[in-house]
């Protein structure tokens, strides 16, 4: 099986979120980056498991600058065979999707994997866009994927429930929690990753049709109002009369 896993780079989950240039840009000073958890923990690992069971190759692709090579190498250390980096500073989901589709077209991947969303811009858009550009079926929020030849049996999260789906390869799939278990790269993997191919390609021309122009932090919470643990009638009263939520 020929498998492609799209990975993105996101700030580490405890990173301080702040903005610069009059709140028009993310302040990356001092921020540590990680591979987007949905891409790493679920999409990549399920692809590796399928390769281990059926043979084939796992390629990872990232659209981003040279600084992203660290997280790409981590993907190789976890077990991907090779990597592609499209050398660009992406501004929108559509831009990223066009780069991925440009590379994947003609490569005949059986399955293109992504995480269900990135934890920075929370778009959950790239998968659907890649699928449309490649004219492939798309299943989002997959929590189970089993293959039988070229037929996939998938369980996907639908708000408040599960859908059981069937689709034949080739297709695009986005991974949610449950699809696989996180793998920690071992020393051998890390050593081998250094010798695996990481190819850098130039971006295709593509427009950004939607761009972020200003950021804002949520309003600060006022002080917490403490309620006597013996007096839950008072909490109920506050929720009803003051907060007006019940």
Residues making contact with ligand FAD (CB under 6 A): 13, 37
Name which of 137, 203, 206, 211 is nearest 174 in CA terms: 137
- 83-113 b/e (C-beta count within 10 Å ≥ 16 → b): bbbbebebebbbbbbbbbbbbbeeeebbbbb
192's contact among ligand FAD, another protein, none, with CB below 5 to 8 A by partner kind, is none
User: Please, what is the minimum distance in Å from the beta carbon of residue 151 to another protein?
Assistant: 10
Q: Which is nearer to ligand FAD, 38 or 103 (CB)?
A: 38
Q: How far apart are CA 40 and CA 10, in angstroms?
A: 11
Scan residues 91-150 and list those touching another protein (CB under 8 A). 92-94, 97, 119-129, 131-133, 135-141, 143
Name which of 21, 42, 18 is nearest 141 in CA terms: 42
Cis-peptide into 170, omega within 30 deg: yes
Contact range with another protein by CB under 8 A, out of 47-55, 64-72, 198-206, 234-242: 234-242
Residue from 33, 37, 87, 183 that binds another protein (CB under 8 A)?
Answer: 37
Q: How far apart are CA 106 and CA 121, in angstroms?
A: 29
107's contact among another protein, ligand FAD, none, with CB below 5 to 8 A by partner kind, is none
Find out whether 32 and 58 touch, Cβ atoms under 8 Å.
Answer: no
Find out whether 1 and 52 touch, Cβ atoms under 8 Å.
Answer: no
Q: Does 52 bind another protein (CB under 8 A)?
A: no
Scan residues 200-219 and list those touching another protein (CB under 8 A). 208-218
76's contact among ligand FAD, another protein, none, with CB below 5 to 8 A by partner kind, is none
Scan residues 159-198 and list those touching another protein (CB under 8 A). 159-168, 171, 174, 177-178
């Amino acid at each position: 099986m020929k498998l492609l896993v799209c990975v993105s780079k996101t700030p580490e989950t405890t990173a301080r979120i702040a903005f610069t240039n009059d709140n028009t840009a993310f302040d990356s000073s001092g921020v540590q980056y990680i591979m987007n958890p949905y891409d790493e923990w679920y999409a990549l690992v399920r692809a590796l498991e399928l390769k281990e069971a059926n043979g084939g190759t796992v390629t990872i692709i990232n659209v981003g600058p040279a600084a992203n090579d660290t997280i790409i190498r981590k993907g190789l250390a976890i077990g991907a065979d090779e990597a592609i980096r499209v050398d660009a500073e992406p501004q929108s989901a559509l831009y990223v999707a066009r780069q991925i589709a440009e590379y994947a077209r003609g490569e005949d991947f059986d399955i293109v994997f992504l995480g269900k969303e990135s934890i920075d811009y929370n778009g959950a858009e790239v998968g659907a866009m890649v699928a449309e550009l490649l004219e492939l079926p798309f299943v989002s929020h997959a929590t189970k994927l089993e293959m039988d030849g070229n037929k996939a049996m998938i369980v996907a999260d639908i708000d408040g429930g599960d859908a059981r789906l069937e689709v034949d390869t080739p297709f695009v799939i986005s991974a949610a929690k449950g699809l696989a278990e996180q793998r920690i790269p071992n020393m051998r993997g890390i050593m081998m990753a250094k010798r695996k191919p990481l190819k850098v390609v130039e971006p295709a021309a593509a427009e950004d049709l939607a761009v972020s122009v200003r950021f804002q932090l949520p309003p600060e919470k006022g002080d917490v109002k403490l309620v006597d643990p013996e007096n839950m009638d008072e909490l109920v009263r506050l929720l009803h009369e003051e907060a007006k939520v019940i």
